[in-house]
Chain A
Amino acid sequence: MTLTICIIAKDGIVLASDSRESATLTANDTVKKIFKLDDHNAMGIAGDGRLAGHFFDVISPQLNFRGGVSNLAEQLRKLGKATFNDFFSHLEPDKRPSLTILLSGYTPENTPAVYQLSSNDNFVPRKSVTGFDCIGIPIIAEYIMNRVYEPEVSYIHAAEMAAFCIKETGSQDRRVGGPTQIATFSNTKAYAELTAEEVSRIEEKCEKIGLAQKGNFYPEEVESGSTTTKEAEKEEIGS
């Protein structure tokens, strides 16, 4: 499974995901789930990772970027539907593998936008109205983003938010995990993926942020404790 998040910041767009592909008994943490379409448009995926990779290879050469992201969304709708119908003409729609896409980029007026498109829904584009979107296993990320997101966030801190959401989800659901992938871009700044070192620094900060308030629920017990010191004692099992 997956968690892929897209956040519109005041100065750019952040696209991030985990790297895990999980099956009943196995997991692989090397799956790429965010893709550059061009310098100012990108997409992330959730669903069948291998299918997504081929899907991306097939459709991306056919995309025309001149009309901005809303035009791209329409192109993806038509190409997605046609490609899936071609790939899976032998299967009823409800038997087909699932693929969900987060498409992000800029309109010709330089307004950022995020769209969600799903193979379960004929790739009809659904435009985010909150400034962010999450696909895959989104529940925990959506809760966190609803609590912390504001449009004034910078892309640097939006990247931290995205990483935090992915790590928190991974801490609860083992279908999300592996190295976090993060990319940022804007209408003037070209798409760039953060290095492993940069991601690691962000994740260190996330570790500190994570449940930073937990200690507030465990104040010191003033009355407990001894007036003398004593060496630690190993307790026998059952005592």
Chain B
Amino acid sequence: MESWKLTWTKLTQLDQSNVQNIPDSTPGVYRLSYLSEDGNRYVFYVGQADDLRGRILQHIQDSEENTCIKTYFVSKPCFFRYAKATSPDVRDAAEKQMYKRYKPRCNERDPGGREDIEVNLT
């Protein structure tokens, strides 16, 4: 079992200007959460990208095809956090681990990914 330490960013409001602050061409994994009425933030989507800024920006455009994500974004305060990871295997494993932990409603399928790589999720 390989163990990798990810440095997760602070939970940040999901809006255009905060996403634009992600350094250009940063590869890594991310997750989106919403503020619930109970005051907690629950994860509704997990993903990975070669360019986190570009990918997360796509989610908050009108052209986003995932209607589940769109619904959360327009109806609730949303947040994101990410971790930089260049290795595709580490990204796949982190995405898989997040999927298993959070069972995010807006992920259409189990992302797959190696289960012999362990990462921290916080």
Contacts and interface: CB of A to CB of B under 8 A. Distances in A.
Interface of A: 204, 207-208, 210-216, 218-222, 224-235, 237
A222 B23 CA distance: 22
B84 interface: yes
Nearest to B104: A215
| Interface size class of chain B, counting residues whose CB lies under 8 Å from the partner chain | 35 or more
A211 B103 contact: yes
A155 to B, nearest CB: 26
Which 3 pairs between the two chains have the least Cβ-Cβ distance? Answer: A219-B40, A225-B10, A230-B7
A234 B3 contact: yes
Contacts of B9: 225-229
Contacts of A237: 3
Nearest to B12: A225
B90 interface: yes
A232 B102 contact: no
Interface in B38-91: 40-44, 79, 81-87, 90
Interface of B: 2-11, 22-23, 26, 28, 33, 36, 40-44, 79, 81-87, 90, 101-105, 109-110, 119, 122
A232 to B, nearest CB: 4
13 contacts: A208-B105, A215-B101, A219-B40, A225-B81, A226-B7, A229-B83, A231-B84, A232-B6, A232-B28, A234-B2, A234-B3, A234-B4, A237-B3
A222 B11 contact: yes
Contacts of B81: 220, 225
B7 A216 contact: no
B8 A224 contact: yes
A232 B104 contact: no
B17 to A, nearest CB: 16
Nearest to B10: A225
Given A215-B103, A226-B10, A233 B42 contact: no
Contacts of B33: 219-220
Given A219-B40, A229-B82, A232-B86, 10 more contacts: A215-B101, A219-B42, A221-B122, A224-B11, A225-B81, A227-B10, A231-B86, A232-B7, A232-B85, A233-B4
Contacts of B43: 215, 218, 220
